[in-house]
Structure formats: C-alpha cells, structure tokens
Structure 1
Amino acid sequence: MESKPVLYNTLTRRKEVFEPIDPPHVGMYVCGPTVYGDPHLGHARPAVTFDLLFRYLRSLGYKVRYVRNITDVGHLEHDADEGEDKIARKARLEQLEPMEVAHYYTERYHRAMDALNVLSPSIEPHASGHIIEQIEFVKRILADGFAYESNGSVYFDVEAYNRKYRYGILSGRNLDDIVANTRELDGQNDKRRSFDFALWKKAAPGHIMHWPSPWGEGFPGWHMECSAMSTKYLGERFDIHGGGMDLMFPHHECEIAQSTAALGHDSAKYWVHNNMITINGQKMGKSLGNFITLEELFGGTHRLLAQAYSPMTIRFFVLQAHYRSTLDFSNEALQAAEKGLDRLMKGIETLSKLRPAAVSTADPAELERRCAEAMADDLNSPMVISALFDWVRIVNQAAEGVQTFTEADLEKLRSLFARYAFDILGLRDEKATGTASGRDYITPLVEMLLDERLKARAAKDWAASDRIRDGLAAAGIRVKDRKDGSDWELE
C-alpha cells in the first residue's frame, strides 16, 4: 500500500492523515440525490468528487464499502421542516404513485452517472425502505431526553442537546447566533423553539406518503434517514461522511446532533465536503434561468449552451478544479476542457504507438512521484492533470524522435497513464468507445482527410498536402506531423 493520504476534515477544519478505524476496511457514506427531478449540474460535482475518492482508496488497496443514499421521502423545505414532501407533491400534480416518481428519476440519475463514468456504490439504500430503522432511531433519542413529542410529531430538543454536547460543531455556529438568525414561521406552534427540527412529522390530511409509528401516522424528518442508514450499513463508527458544502447546515449539523444524542458520539471520523457550482459566476437556480440538467448539457439544448458537451468533458472539467474550490461553468471553460481532454487522449494514443529504444532520456518515476503526491494531498486532481499534461508533451517529443524510452520504461509509462487517467480520475476515451457527443462526429472525416494527405506526401504532392492541412486549420483543427504519420487536435 502507498503512503497514507491526507484529507481535509471539515469537522476539525484541517488536513489529517487518513487512518481508517479498521484497516484495510473503509466505510464511506455520501448523501445522494433527492429523486424528484432530472439530474443536473449540481449532482455532477459530488458524484465525481466521491467517485474520485472511492477509486483512489481502492487503488491504494483499501476495501471500501461505499454507501450512497437515495432520498425518496421526507425531504422537506430546508428552512422550515414543514410543508409537503417534494416527491409527494410531484406525484399529486402528475397523478402518479410517489414511488413511480422516485423510480423514474432514480433511473434517470443512474443513466447520467453511467455516462459520467461514476462507479456504482457498494450499497444504495432508499429512505422509504428504512422507515423502521428511522423510527427506532427516534425512539432512542426520545428515551435519552433529547427530543419531545408534540401533537403527533417528534422534535429534536436542540437546547437540551446543547447543554450536554455542542450544537454547531460542524458549521462553526453557536446556538446564540442560530437563535438570533432564526425567524419564526407560521405553522410551527408544535415546536418549543423555532430552531428545533423534526425527527418525525405527523401527516396532514391528504398527505399521501405516511407510515404508522408510535406517535401516529406520519413520515420521517429530512435529516433522520442519513443517521439511520449510515449506522445500519457501516456501524456506529465509520470512516468518512461526504456531501456537498450546501448540506453542512442544517442537514449534516442536525445529523451529527441526532447521532450523538442516540449513540453518545458522532458516527463519522472524517467529514468531507465538495464546494459549490456556479454558472457564469451566478448560483444555479430555476428562477435565474441558468438551471441546466445533465441531459441538456450532453445534448446542447439549453439556451445558455453554445454546443453539446460530452460526459467526459464534464467529468474532466470537474476534476480540473480542486473539490474544495468553487467551480464556475461557462461555455469558454467547457470548451477549454474539451480541448484539454482531447489533447490528453491524443497523448495516450500516441504513447501506445511509441517504439522502444536502447536508452531512456526521461524517467517515468518522476510522473509516478508527482501523481502519487498530488492524490495523497487531499485529492489534488488538478495537479495530477498538470503532471499528465507535462508528460504528454514528453510523449509527443518522443514521437518526434527528441525523447526515447526503453521497452520497460514505455510499459511503466503506459501503466501510469492508465492508472491515473483511467482508473483513478475515471476518464475514458470517448472517441475510442463511441460514447462521445458534441463535435466528435468529425473524427472519421478528419482521419479520412489525413489519409489523403499522407498519400499526397508519399507522392511528393506538397501542394495537395498543404491544401489539406490549411483547410483543416481553417476549421479549427491543428495537424501535427510525426515521423510515422500525422496526428491532430482541436484548436
């Protein structure tokens, strides 16, 4: 196993050496999607981020149990813990069973994740399939005096919890600040205090998603599912809990409080959060007209998109930024990512065609060191990509005869590119597999023209050769002549 990686622990606000509780086993829980709408850009970043972590830990030899939940019930309005369940509302409006809505959008989410080459988790539990476990969790919190029943609902007593533990440990908020910034909301008279949150909600008349409980017909609060399902599948103590930074408060803060109240300790050792996505500098939102689904992105059908972008272009773009930095989507940035990905894939293709020499003029160990150090430093995928690009330049020099590699070093170099570009970063050559979209339909045409140019050069018809090269350049395609033929890339 390689050197131990370092992860930024949001709970302690510092980088820490990753020390699993029970090595080589690793338990990882990540908040997955709420399935009441099409998967969108906001789903792409956490999916790719924690897929990167999953792939990396497995590459180090860890046996990872990756649990990613599906929220199909109990996802209430964030600011109120009140109102109609979003899936139930969509089911009512479309005259469907709630599970029809959940299944339809879960399948669409899975197809989008497959397109992004996101690996399936080890376990993917649904909130609706774990109502019993959530009820039992609520019972434990009530029995320990950190919750109270009110008119058929059960609320977490934040003040009682804060007297023994500390509420706000993850987000850095203290209870006085929360009190000062919490507005009173209509319909919350059942609560003792406005900042208490629902563990179980009484179902109003006509509410179509509800279950029997010791407190009457109702449904679990939004936060409860993660506490119940993570501990069911990973135990009362597990290694990593992940999710988007937007979930830190209130969702993950409430989850920590619930788990600590029921168990006497938080469940997760490391809390890992990816940062947010913006579009042209603005937060993504339907009211702003910049809400882009992944299907619109892959097809280029949204009014803000200048073209279609392939799934691997999106994945590569996400990986070009560190997961803890803000990621801003724009056509210019995505087009640059498309060209960068094309250059990387072309370099790997060129590497596969290189022939061995008697000596090596560059040592692949340098690439191995840079990539290993970058990944071990809190998943620094941008630095991995930078190292790969530097070595693509060396590979291209080798194709031109400037650099040479022995057979052993060629094999090592090919193995390193496969390990980091494909196995860990999770990229794939869409042109080779036929899964690309956007401008990749031009590949057969370009290859045909390059074949004609090669024939012209063999016949010493330099005018025809230059005419083809200049025509391709005018179309935004740069031709690079090699000793054994020609290669091309998008400008």
Structure 2
Amino acid sequence: MTLYQNQQLKMYNSITGEKEIFTPIHEGKVGMYVCGPTVYNYVHLGNCRTFISFDLVYRYLKHLGYQVRYVRNITDVGHIVDDVDEGEDKIAKRARIEQIEPMEIVQKYTLNFHNILKQFNNLPPSIEPTATGHIIEQIRIIEEIIANGFAYEVNGSVYFDVVKYNQSHNYGVLSGRKIEDMLANTRELDGQSDKRNPLDFALWKNAEPQHIMRWPSPWGDGFPGWHLECTAMSTKYLGKHFDIHGGGMDLKFPHHECEIAQNEASTGNSPVNYWMHANMLTLNGKKMSKSTGNNILPNELFSGDNSILKKAFSPAVTRFFIMQAHYRSILDFSDDAIMASEKGFHRLMEAIKALKDLPVSASSTVNIAAWKQTCYDAMNDDFNSPILIAHLFDAVKMINLIKEGKETISAVDLEELKTSLNAFVFDILGLEQEEATGQDNAKLEGVVNMLISMRNEARANKDFAMSDHIRDELAKLGIQLKDGKEGTSFSI
C-alpha cells in the first residue's frame, strides 16, 4: 500500500478559505504549477521563501508516493513595471541600464536563480517552461477568448473585457473582491486609454517602434500580457483542469484572479482545484525594499557581506529558519531570529550524528511509532513545518535521554528512528548537514580546547566569574561545554 493511502493530507485552499482533504484528479498523480520569477534582477530572499515553501510541498507529496509533475515557469518576457499595462518592460529596462541584449539579461538572472535555489537544496521542477517559448500557445488562447466574446482588439492591442465576463462569471472569486468596489476605486479613463473599462487587462500589447521584445500576431507586432503566460504554460503541461496552483500571496490579485478569468473565458472550465499562497518575508519588522535599503540578497547572507547581520549564515541554516514558520504566516527575518535558528539547527544535526553511538537495549521505553505519526500529522495539517520541527526536537530530547541512560531503545526501534529522522529532516524539509573541512575542524578544536584550558585555570584560581563568562560566550556561538569526571568536552 502506498504511503499516501495511509495519511490524510489536508491543505488550505485559498479559493474556499478552508483546509480541505487533498484528493487528486487522477489517483496517485499530482499536477502542480507554481509561478516562477521574472528574470530581470537577482532573486531576493522573499522570492526564495516562496520557492522553498513549494519545494517542501513537492518533497512531501513525493514522499507520500505521489507521482508529481511540478511545473514552474520562467518569465523572460518582461511584463510592465508595477504590473500595469503602460510603462517600460522590466527586462528591456534592465538591458538598457546594463547596455546588453534583453536575452543576456534573461540568461544572467536565470542562472543566478538556479544557482541560489541549488544552494538552498531545492529540487528542480519537472518542467521549467519559458514565456518566450510559448508565444504561439498564448496567441491561440487570445483567439479563443475573443471568439467567446470576452476580449476585444483596439489599435493592435487586445484587452480582456472584465465587466462582460463578470455578467456570467465571478471576477473576484479568488481574492474576494467585488467588481463594484473595484470600479469605484479605479481612476476615470482619461480619454487616451484604449480600454473600455479601467479593470480590463491586456492579453496582447501593441509594440511601440522602440520596443525590443516583440513577436508577430494576428493583431500586429507586439508582446503578451503578464497574466496570459501562466495560463498558457500551466494548461499545456497539466491540462485544462489540474490539482494545485501556487505562488506568493502578492500574486493572488490581480495575477491569479486574471488566470482564472482567462481559463474560464477560453475553455469554460475553472482550471485549478487547490490554490496555495505563501506569505511574505519581512526584514527587521519592515517590508523588504531595494529602494529603502531594507533588503538582503542570498549571496550577501551566505558571505556575510552586508550591514544587517553580524555574521554569515549558511543556506542550510537559512532554509531551516524559513521552515520554522508556517508557509502561510508572515516571517520576519532578523539577526537575532536567524542566530536562534542556527543554534537549533546545530542541536538537531548533533542529535542525528549521535544516533550511530546510541546504546541498544532489549526493549524500548520510548514510543517511536507514536512519535513518527505526530510528525506525519503535522505535515498532513497543511504542511505545518514548525510543528514538525517541534516534534523533531522531541526526538532530540529522546536521543539525549537514551545517551544518558534515562530511556532505552531496541535495535528495531533505533533503526526506525534513524530512518524516520532522515526522511523528515533531509528528504522532506530538505536540510543538509554542514560538513566543515578537516582543517577547519582542527582549528576550531584547537581554539576551543585553549579556551577550556583558560576556563580550567580560572576555576582553579576560584575566578568563577571568568569561568562562567567563557562557558556563556561559547554557548552564544552554539558551542556547548560538558563537564564530566574525565574533564570538559564540547559539542557544536
């Protein structure tokens, strides 16, 4: 029997506002689409949080035994600045600033995106389509929407008719917005717009003579609207009706709302059963922003080359930090928060290393089966990684009690504990052991042993304040001193 048949997974569906039992359209198979990056700049930590969150979803579905087709696109057609219909293309603007071709910009920042996610130990998607590779599919969808009466062409541009669509459908079904309120809050048309209504959005834009990225279409040379590409690529690879669509919370409106409208206008079908949205990452309590300087890039975090943090932090520790919050909650990144995560990460890894030396008894006083199911219960409750991590630290306590002889574990249960910990920590959470080089280990051991000698000397001189100070300062760095009959040892 496949594992998913024994575990009842529930996920929060943004379109219903409730946790629902996950039932895939096809038994044992899952189709999942996640909106990828627009590759005009370096991927920032907030973007990474979204992709790490859906990597967790992907990993857990695979662990349960589902055959998952995970599609995540690359937006290499630079949609307009601020995601409106007028203005300068983001990729073309960056190409002008850097004085290179737009596709050089695309290549440069796509490679950066892949490199960063690889460092975070994200699994690659099953398919990673590009918007420029699917212009024909996008044109066909526009033709279908026009034929069904929900779009109109003006001066070489094609717009989606939101008001007409809403007469027979619900524009706002995902975001909960009412079209009357949206109309009341939009500016009056100034007479220069080609739109019939301010809410109408572009399916195809006529390219001005200076616009570099352009393609031929039945309506003249132009480029596709931002929302259209995801509709084309998701349905091409997952079908007109698929299981899961994910993305950042900021994409719920208008992007995902428009995707639903485009699908229903072209095919008559609602495209997705479960909509999932990952929440934002803030920095020191404020929204991340390049313009204000309240921002940090992953490489700046890994190298320590920034003015925000006291030291560098590894990708594994950063991933662990992200997993300590539920994907639907706002997560605030700060020096104190990630320092605490680093200590917890090292405690967890130290316990896993200790498994190989645990003493085995004829019977167990610990209940591994019950503990294991609590871990599954956490993940089955809308991928609740912070609760899972809390249960992993229950296992850490269990391991320490067994080491101290206060609990016992049988050989069979020890093997089950090892297998389960490896599954939850490495396969599902996607964490990696941090292995220092032999030279680094030797240097660290030498420094710590020197401090232990200094502490022993302080204790011999009854300078207990200095002794405690050395112990406490090492503890702040995640190095724990252990006093025993044979002297003082340390662990990291």
What is the number of residues matched between the two proteins? 478
1:161-200 alignment runs, 5 A limit: 161-184=165-188, 189-200=193-204
- Give the Cα–Cα distance (whole angstroms) in 1 for the partners of residues 468 and 357 of structure 2: 22
- Residue 339 (structure 2) pairs with residue 299 (structure 1): no
Q: Deviations over 1:67-111 (max 9, x none)?
A: 000111042234522212100111122221111100110001111
* CA shift in 2, pair 1:29/1:484, >3 Å: farther
Give yes or no for contact 1:400–1:483 (8 Å, CA) kept in 2.
no
- Structure 2 residue 262 is the aligned partner of structure 1 residue 258: yes
- Say whether the 8 Å CA contact 2:351–2:399 is kept in structure 1: yes
Query: Pick from 6, 14, 17: which aligns with 2:21?
Result: 17
Q: What SS does the aligned partner of 1:223 have?
A: helix
Residues in 2 aligned to 1:229 and 1:291: alpha-carbon distance in whole angstroms: 31
Matched, 1:368 2:362: no
Tell me, what secondary structure is at the counterpart of 2:435? helix
Tell me the TM-score normalized by structure 1: 0.92
Q: How much does 1:43 deviate?
A: 1.4
> Cα deviation per residue 1:287-342 (whole Å; 9 max; x = unaligned)?
22112111111112221222211111111111100111111111110111111111
The question of 1:475 aligning with 2:474 is answered: yes
C-alpha distance in structure 1 between counterparts of 2:488 and 2:416, whole Å: 25
The residue that corresponds to 1:383 in the other structure is: 387
Distance 2:443 2:52 in 1: 32
Deviates more, 1:475-484 or 1:78-87: 475-484
Deviations 1:370-418 (A, max 9, x none): 1010000000100100001111011012112222211111111011110
User: Counterpart in 2 of 1:344?
Assistant: 348
Contact 1:188 1:194 (8 Å CA) reproduced: no
CA–CA distance in structure 2, aligned partners of residues 333 and 19 of structure 1: 37
Q: 2:451 and 2:98 mapped to 1: Cα distance? A: 58
Partner of 2:291, secondary structure, is helix
Amino acid at match of 1:342: H
Which one-letter code corresponds to 1:291 in the other structure?
N
Provide the rounded CA distance (Å) in 1 between the counterparts of 2:233 and 2:200.
22
1:404 is matched with 408
**CA–CA distance in 1 between the matches of 2:487 and 2:314?**
28
Check whether the contact 1:360–1:409 (CA below 8 A) recurs between aligned residues.
Answer: yes
* Rounded Cα–Cα distance in structure 2 between residues aligned with 1:201 and 1:176: 26
- Is 2:231 the counterpart of 1:227? yes
What SS class does the counterpart of residue 350 from structure 2 fall into?
helix
* Distance (whole Å) between structure 2 residues aligned to residue 44 and residue 50 of structure 1: 10
1:98-117 aligned at under 5 Å gives the runs: 98-117=102-121
The residue number in structure 2 matching 1:355 is 359
Contact 1:74 1:219 in 2 (8 A): no
Q: Secondary structure at the residue paired with 1:308?
A: coil
1:487, distance to aligned residue in structure 2 (A): 6.3
Alignment pair present for 1:249 and 2:253: yes
Query: Does the CA-based 8 Å contact 2:13-2:275 persist in structure 1?
Result: yes
What percent identity do the matched residue pairs reach?
54
- Structure 1 contact 399–483 (Cα < 8 Å) conserved: no
- Structure 1's consecutive aligned runs of 4 or more residues displaced over 2 angstroms after TM superposition are 77-80, 183-188, 440-455, 466-477, 480-490
TM-score, normalising length: structure 2: 0.92
Counterpart-to-counterpart distance in 2, 1:484 and 1:234: 63
Indicate conservation of the 8 Å contact 1:400/1:482, yes or no.
no
Report the alpha carbon displacement of residue 206 of structure 1 after superposing the two structures with TM: 0.7
Residue identity matched to 2:276: V
Gaps of 5+ in 1: 435-439, 456-461
Pick from 57, 60, 67 the counterpart of residue 63 of structure 1: 67
- The amino acid across from 2:9 in the alignment is P
Question: Residue 447 of structure 1 corresponds to which residue in structure 2?
Answer: 445
- 2 CA distance for matches of 1:11 and 1:165? 15
Q: C-alpha separation between the residues in 1 aligned to 2:261 and 2:367?
A: 52
Measure, in 2, the Cα distance between the counterparts of 1:187 and 1:84: 21
Aligned equivalent of 1:459: none
SS at match of 1:240: strand
**Aligned letter for 1:238?**
F
Show CA shifts across 1:39-87 (max 9, x none). Answer: 1111111111100000000001000000000111042234522212100
SS in 1 for 2:145: helix
Aligned in 2, Cα 1:173/1:485: closer, same or farther, shift over 3 Å?
farther
Shift of 1:183: 2.4
